[in-house]
Amino acid sequence: MASPFDLVNLANLKSWLDITGAEDDLLLAQLISQISRAILNILERPAILPSTYTETYDGGGEASIVLRQWPVNDVISCAIDGVLIPPAPPLFGGNAAQPGYFLDPSDSAPPGAMQRLSLRGRVFTGGIQNVVVSYAAGYQITNENAAVPASPPYTIQAQCPYGAWASDVGVVYASGQPLTGVQASPAAAQYSVTSGLYSFSQADAGTAVSLAYGYVPYDLALSCMDWIADRYAYRSRIGQRTKSLGGQETLAFIVKDIPDFVRTALSPYRRVFMP
């Protein structure tokens, strides 16, 4: 994608619009970026792909806060009045409850819901901007198990169950040891990736690996393409609301800032409130 904020790539958009020529590629690329940013503004979300955030909150004596970005993939740190709070050990196997933070589980499929970060054994002490949370969030497939083929080509195609591949988050062996990402021609313990196609070295043939990658949910990508199609067609009728068809019929155009069908599709992804 041309921009990390783009919700669709040029090739998929041209296929959707049934365009084969390249004369409008620059215009279409501009529309992709413009409409993608407009959608993110409507959703009140800075990004939807995996990113790291450090945010401050006002403590109010409560036991939980709602994080601003979702789905949350990992909480990196939580501090109150400059004091780091440890993660709370899970409650299973007869373990006694111990103080710390814990996170609401994320939904398995998009759009998902905003998640609470809660404390066990204490509260978020009252104060102004005295709570600092660092975490990773965004639409991400984690631990997608696969195996490097035993014979060439030594490639794995990401499964992408909920949306098109958009960014690499890493590859690890079954043991948990990470592989190193490279641009091309990977050696042992290395990989390269292009548009969701992961390539490996012959030295890793037959090896079990686990993929992690960011994706754009299908309905967001389709909403983006639908809106772009609407704006692309508008070029031929700028300012028009009606058009006479040979004097026998009149064609009326619906002119809105956001097409209704796009607004409806985006609604489940929109931030409900700003904690």
The CA–CA distances, whole Å, from 65 to 30, 62, 69, 106, 216 equal 38, 8, 12, 15, 27
What CA–CA distance (Å, rounded) separates 186 from 192?
A: 6
For residues 63 and 125, membership in a common domain is answered with yes
CB 181 within 8 A of CB 187: no
Q: Which of 214, 269, 182, 170 is nearest to 6 (CA)?
A: 214
- Tell me what pLDDT residue 112 has: 94
230 falls within a domain: no
**Same structural domain for residues 127 and 154?**
no
pLDDT of residue 114: 95
Confidence band, pLDDT 50/70/90 cuts, at residue 246: low
Q: Is residue 204 part of a domain?
A: yes
Band the pLDDT of 239: cuts 50, 70, 90: very low
For residue 83, being part of any structural domain is answered with yes
Distance between CA atoms of 210 and 164, rounded to whole angstroms? 18
Is-contact 220 7, C-beta < 8 A?
yes
Q: Which domain holds residue 207?
A: 140-217
